[in-house]
Chain A
Amino acid sequence: MSRRDEIIGKIAEVPALPASSINAIALVQSKDVELTELTKFLEHEPGPAANVLKLVNSASYNLGQPVGTIKDAVIRLGRKQVMNIILSELVGPVTKPAVRGYDLPPNDLWQHSIVVTIGAQIIAARQHSNSPDYYSVAGLLHDVGKIVLGTFVEVDAEPMIEIAKNERRPFNEVEEQVLGIDHAEAGAILLENWKFPQEIINAVRWHHKPEESPYEATRYVHVADSISLMTGIGVGVEGLQYSPSEEAVKAVNLSVEETEKVTFNMLIGLQEAKRLFGM
């Protein structure tokens, strides 16, 4: 059996997401989810509900009377903000534990995933994108393959980094050469097993090679991921050993100054998320 087949076999053994996470993903994909539906969902999810209330009563939102009910909080915060909290709380934690083989301490990959999601949302908004918001879930899970490889397959990334550094090649290319599969494909196979929609699987599969994907979401995740890796947020042992895609970067068409503004807003967004989730 090849290393690749062995790894794919192991991916099949990864336990499925809890039902509440799957419901949250379904909820977010339905394009015109009503505020009442969100409220109903939150009434059964104490974790995200608490954070929705915490945010609405924080200094940046609360203008007077404290908000005590979920219904009022949802109305005040709006759909997008509430869905972000639900996703970050229910899907994000998949990336919370340390990833040993990739030398990521606890919470590092989670922070990186959140900052990439924020970045993808900012870039999509600048593009006036009308496509459904697949990039948020894809952003949160784009590196889930590192958990698959680092934790479940117990791959040691160290020797692969040596090769990548010595030959000045992107780390994902070396993963593919050595293991027969890179972390992007490993993540995509996992999400396929978990019955995720094609657009999300695709964005995860091609987040280092966005020119292979027909979906805009992939480009947004790629550019946000590149910025986050470059600035050093949630980088593993492989450091900045990745190549940005010229096609994707040109497609989102950000000037030097705009890129720096996006980067700035990604950091501000991360700081808010850290406050909200008590990190």
Chain B
Amino acid sequence: MQYIIGISDMKVTSGPEDVLVTYSLGSCVGVTVYDPVRKIGGMIHCMLPLSRIDALKAKDNPYMFTDTGTTSLLKTIYDMGSLKKDLVVKVAGAASLLDENRLFKIGERNHTVLRKVLWINGIMIAGEDTGGSIARTMYLHMADGRTTIKSCGKESEL
């Protein structure tokens, strides 16, 4: 079954046939987590770097924000029995407009916060496709744990 992860959304699954997908990642970040030992996988699509913008809303929906979203995804996966050493984490998005003067910084800030949260949690990024001025679609294929990125009509494995 295919599950669509919207903006500020999360999904974890252990269904061997499932595909998780999130569309039009711009400056937002998409993160996939896959545990090849227990065949558990998850995906988030977070819009803004820091939850301090609205702590109340972050409690209600942590996946709006990269800091709380990433932490919450990891916690969910651990609660399902996964161990940190088994996790394969991949990252996409954090794009920007053609913005040489860096008038907007959401993409780069999302990227920085994501790296920081993963660093604090002792997790290495196994693959990433970030930056530039393109919108990306991100897939996690539960059948084999592949994360793929589709952009401008072309799909490639991360």
Contacts and interface: CB of A to CB of B under 8 A. Distances in A.
A132 to B, nearest CB: 27
B109 interface: yes
Contacts of B53: 257, 260-261, 264
A244 B107 CA distance: 14
Looking at chain A, what size class is its interface with the partner chain?
20 to 34
Interface of B: 7-8, 24-28, 47-50, 53-54, 57, 64, 95-99, 101, 103-107, 109, 133-135, 151-152
Contact of A230 (B7, B8, B64, B104): B104
Contact of B152 (A161, A168, A169, A261): A161
Nearest to A232: B26
Which DSSP category, helix, strand, loop or mixed, fits chain B's interface?
A: loop
Contact of A240 (B26, B48, B57, B101): B26
Secondary structure dominating the interface of A: helix
A84 interface: no
A263 interface: yes
6 contacts: A165-B133, A232-B26, A241-B97, A260-B48, A263-B106, A264-B57
Interface in A229-279: 229-233, 235, 237, 239-244, 246, 249-250, 256-257, 259-261, 263-264, 267-268
B25 A227 contact: no
A240 B95 CA distance: 8
Contact of B97 (A242, A257, A261): A242
Given A239-B152, A240-B95, A240-B135, A229 B26 contact: yes
